A and B are shown apart, each in its own frame.
Chain A
Amino acid sequence: MKIIVNGESVESGAATLADLLVDLGHGGAAVATAVNEGFVPATARANCPLRPGDRVEIVAPRQGG
């Protein structure tokens, strides 16, 4: 299925958000996630199913003022 990850169209077979993070190489990294503009805590990722067209945001620490 096609989903949108950080604004880019991605072909993915991940059943859940947790699976997607592993597939993309984020396993264990300090990242936060949102699906369709809603925050998904790390503890809820395994129970967060992904559907075609979902918009996923994956963010990490960055410089800020």
Chain B
Amino acid sequence: MPVFYGTEIASALMLGTALYPSPAILAEAFRRSGAGVATVSLRREAGGGREGQDFWALIRDLGVRVLPNTAGCHSVREAVTTAHMAREVFGTDWIKLEVIGHADTLQPDPFGLVEATRILSDEGFRVFPYCTEDLVLCDRLLRAGCGVLMPWGAPIGTGRGLMNPYGLRSLRAHFPDVPLVVDAGIGLPSHAAQAMEMGFDAVLLNTAVARAGDPAAMALAFARAIEAGALARAADPMEPRDMAAPSTPLLGQAVLA
């Protein structure tokens, strides 16, 4: 099971909490899948409002580790301030750091991400950076204090799967000891299995479960796919080859032609 900053998580499935048809279905998705981490956010609360308090009570009852995000932040300052607010409200120094660089693709701003990572790491935060699969960026993030990397599979909410398997495999090869999470762009359990087969430590997704016709069933499907992918990785998969190689022995075949 993945270990993030010295804490072992019970499942390699990390689930977002947004976009579910209802709070009850959200809770059922977590229960059936056994997801080990829930991502959450902070938003404005009206005076006397209960929405945030009720939601927080629901999440606490799940009994999973909480990973607050800085979703929607486009500047280092916004992200750092949001991280401070999240640490106080959620009582954790874990932060899923998002510094968005492009409004349409929600592509991370690599320069702002490194800067914010350095600031927050120096202040004692445990940073989980939502990043691209760029090898140099990931190296800079590690040097800035990250102990985890979370490259995207595809843009958030697209469900397109792993758009750059080569880049993701390169990260695994170059950083064998760093926990790696594919975060965003996952659409199907097979995408999650593929990430785990590559040797990723966990998968973080939201929309693919929350927007499924039956979110709880889909969450379970993801959990099983992730388990299958991890088992396959540990079992040392065969290398693909170009030419056919018969699996049935040629020796002893009757001559009938």
A30: chain B residues within 8 A (beta carbon): 52-53, 56, 89
Q: In the docked arrangement, what's the CA distance between A62 and B21, Å?
A: 15
State whether the Cβ of A52 lies closer than 8 Å to any Cβ in chain B. no
Q: Given A29-B45, A29-B53, check contact A61 B81 (CB 8 Å).
A: no
**Distance to closest chain A CB from B45 (angstroms):** 4
Beta-carbon contact of B85 and A39 below 8 Å: yes
Name the residue in B46, B69, B71, B184 with the highest tally of chain A Cβ atoms < 10 Å from its Cβ.
B46
The docked-state distance in angstroms from the alpha carbon of A1 to that of B41 is 31
Interface assignment of A46: CB less than 8 Å from any CB of chain B: no
Q: How many residues of B contact A (CB 8 A)?
A: 38
Min CB distance B105 to A, Å, is 15
Is A15 in contact with chain B by the CB < 8 A criterion?
A: no
Q: Is the CB of A65 within 8 A of B52?
A: no
Task: Give chain A interface residues in 24-50, CB to chain B under 8 Å.
Answer: 24-26, 29-34, 37-39, 41-42
CB pair B55 A62 closer than 8 Å:
yes
A64 touches B18 (CB 8 A): yes
Size band of the interface chain A makes with B = 20 to 34
Of A7, A42, A62, the contact of B41 (CB 8 Å cutoff):
A62
Interface string of B16-38 (1 = CB under 8 A from A): 11111000001000000000000
Q: Which residues of A contact B49 (CB under 8 A)?
A: 60
Q: Which of B40, B51, B207 contacts A64 (CB 8 A)?
A: B40
The answer to whether B88 touches A42, judged by C-beta atoms less than 8 angstroms apart, is yes
Residue of A nearest to B70 (CB): A64
A58 contacts B45, C-beta separation under 8 Å: yes
Residues from chain A with a CB closer than 8 A to the CB of B19 are 63, 65
B6 within 8 A of A: no
A interface footprint on B62-100 (CB within 8 Å = 1, 0 otherwise): 000000110100000100010011101110000000000
- Check: B117 CB closer than 8 A to any chain A CB: no
- A39 / chain B contacts, CB cutoff of 8 Å: 81, 84-85
Report yes or no: B55 in contact with A61, Cβ–Cβ below 8 A. yes
Encode contact with B along A1-39: 1 for CB under 8 Å, 0 otherwise. Answer: 000011100000000000000001110011111100111
Q: Please give the distance in Å from B183's CB to the nearest CB on chain A.
A: 9
* Cβ contact within 8 Å between A65 and B18: yes
Q: Are B39 and A6 in contact (CB under 8 A)?
A: no
Residues from chain A with Cβ under 8 Å of B59 in the complex: 61
8 A-B pairs (CB sep. < 8 Å): A29-B45, A31-B52, A37-B81, A57-B44, A59-B42, A61-B42, A63-B20, A64-B69
